[in-house]
Structure 1
């Protein structure tokens, strides 16, 4: 007698995949913003870069929270972390 165990394959969540792709893009934008900050010389450009970095960090934090909300089992297994802050 053969016993078969069926494994339920869940279809990937398209919204989750979109959020992950957006997070990848936001992280690349953050790297770009830091590179621009490193090259900025004029005070106005430095200030602009600081605002841009802050905005992209806020977007990354939002996307991370949204991804964790879409994956409650994975989020529960992860240790709690504070929002991403780059200094």
Structure 2
């Protein structure tokens, strides 16, 4: 089985990948907090956090896909879009 030669990833792409992973972690945390929230104000706050984290994930994915089409695929997180 041959391995594809990957070209080195530049520091900016690595930084974008790190930001994407952080946004995915924030999204997963916001979903967990939403699941546990009981007060209406806290539920509303979680909805805003989920929306903001999704927007950040979408932005970083879009930028990474433009920079290096394969770079975004290598960033897997524990967040699930619903």
Q: TM-score range by the shorter chain?
A: 0.7 to 0.9
Unaligned runs of 5+ residues in structure 2 are 74-79
CA RMSD of aligned residues (A): 2.4
> What is aligned with 1:44?
41
> Is residue 63 of structure 2 the alignment partner of residue 66 of structure 1?
yes
**1:71 CA displacement:** 1.0
Return the offset for 1:10: 4.3
**After the TM superposition, which parts of structure 1 deviate over 6 Å for at least 4 consecutive aligned residues?**
none
1:70/1:36 CA distance change after superposition, 3 Å: same
Q: Does 1:57 align with 2:54?
A: yes
Q: Report which of the two structures shows the higher radius of gyration computed on alpha carbons.
A: 1
- Give me the TM-score of the superposition, normalised by structure 2: 0.75
Map 1:71-86 onto structure 2 (within 5 A). Answer: 71-72=68-69, 74=70, 86=81
- Number of matched pairs: 71
TM-score w.r.t. structure 1 length? 0.71
Describe how 1:5-44 pairs up with structure 2 within 5 A.
10-44=7-41
